[in-house]
Amino acid sequence: MNKWMKLGGRVLTGALLCGSMMFGTAGAEEAPAVDGMEAFREAISAPAQQDKRIFRQDLQFFIPAVRADLGMTGYTKGHNLRVSGDFEMVFIGDDGNTVDTAMPFYLDQQKKEMTLYFKPEKKWYKFQTPTLAAAAADGIATPDEQDVAAILSSVKAVTVLRETDTQRTMLVQLDNEKLADLIAQYGKQNPPDKGTADDIAWQNSFMGYLEQGMRRANLWYTWTVDKTNWHTITMSYNLSSLLQETAKVALEQPHEWPKEVENLVERVAYYSDMRTYTIFLSDKAKKRVELPEEAKSAESVDDLFMDDKTLPANAAEK
């Protein structure tokens, strides 16, 4: 079971980088005659009128015999971020037996410092991750002129799906080549800073797969904004194409994987589905992101992807 917790940990880590992403829906009425890129530029450039938000984000992943759900509530204030949630995975083995596991987690990011608390079984652990802290700080900060220019350059086309006096819903088609260049640049600027030698090699290989997968993917999202204050209401990403193309790139490279890993990557390449949805909440939801009392005594670990010797015995065997 530990290998699935490791896989889940990597999914969790990647998803946390998207903590400031937002979910959207499109109206059914006929699209208005509004220039898409100008409408997008107006929405992305508008100054924020408050520095704190509360959001609910869900990431859903599915392939035959495996389903994973990441649900979290986040609170941002200035350059700080707090997130509380659960990572759940259901796996059906070749023998027909089902493994159903859940891991609660909590994240506390204060500018350049970030601590991830997680509970793989009956005990809480905590892991400090400066790389994620930097990414989260960038993600929740109000974009400056340079940020706006970078965002606009990564967008290929925008269609306004719905326009009212108070709301605007847009379909945003991303430029996969520009995003792939950003992934390559990020990988050079942020090499793996923690983990075992095997983890570092794996992470470097994965970044290469991800870059090439991005160049072949078809990525888009819908975004609904409140025109009275230009805050995001909802946003939705379909990440299936990126996931599938990244797995196909991995399969095309020379590799020596166990048969079960090969089968898993093939299923991801041809049958996977992954989407993320975010919706912003009222201030009443802030209580959902309080650190659990039992997590305050969490044991520190140096490697997020702990091996069987590090995990409690019953967690490794589950």
Copy the structure tokens of residue 308.
């069987």
Which of the listed ranges 147-156, 277-286, 292-301 does the model predict with the highest average pLDDT? Answer: 292-301
Per-residue pLDDT band at 285 (split at 50, 70, 90):
confident
Mean pLDDT of the chain: 80
Copy the structure tokens of residue 194.
């923690």
The residue-averaged pLDDT of 284-290 equals: 83
One-letter amino acid of 238: N
| Percentage of residues of the chain with pLDDT beyond 70 | 74
Range of the domain at 152: 2-317
- What pLDDT does residue 191 have? 66
- What pLDDT does residue 252 have? 94
- What pLDDT does residue 145 have? 79
Read off the pLDDT of residues 52-104 as tens digits, 9 standing for 90 and up. 789 999 999 999 999 999 999 999 887 788 999 999 999 888 888 999 999 99
Q: What does the alpha-carbon distance between residue 24 and residue 223 come to, in Å, rounded to a whole number?
A: 4
Number of domains in the chain: 1
- What pLDDT does residue 136 have? 60
- What pLDDT does residue 147 have? 77
Which of the listed ranges 103-117, 177-191, 244-258 does the model predict with the highest average pLDDT? Answer: 244-258
- What pLDDT does residue 139 have? 63
Q: What does the alpha-carbon distance between residue 171 and residue 250 come to, in Å, rounded to a whole number?
A: 30
Copy the structure tokens of residue 106.
């909590």
Q: What does the alpha-carbon distance between residue 306 and residue 125 come to, in Å, rounded to a whole number?
A: 10
Q: What does the alpha-carbon distance between residue 291 and residue 51 come to, in Å, rounded to a whole number?
A: 21
Instruction: Tell whether the model's pLDDT for residue 316 goes beyond 50.
Output: no
- What pLDDT does residue 46 have? 79
The residue-averaged pLDDT of 148-170 equals: 92
One-letter amino acid of 82: R
Read off the pLDDT of residues 227-279 as tens digits, 9 standing for 90 and up. 998 888 999 999 999 999 999 999 999 888 899 889 989 999 999 999 999 99
Residues 6+ away with beta carbon under 8 Å from 261:
none
CB atoms within 10 A of CB 245: 22
Query: Cβ(125)–Cβ(298) under 8 Å?
Result: yes
CA 171, 175, 179 angle in degrees (round to 5)? Answer: 120
CATH code of residue 144: 2.50.20.20
- What pLDDT does residue 124 have? 95
Read off the pLDDT of residues 2-49 as tens digits, 9 standing for 90 and up. 444 444 444 444 444 444 333 333 333 444 557 899 999 999 887 666
Residues 6+ away with beta carbon under 8 Å from 22:
55, 223, 232, 233, 234, 235, 278, 279, 280
The residue among 80, 77, 103, 76 whose CA lies nearest residue 8 is: 103
- Greater confidence (32 vs 305) lies with 305
Handedness of CA 107, 110, 114, 115 (dihedral sign): negative
Instruction: Tell whether the model's pLDDT for residue 303 goes beyond 80.
Output: no
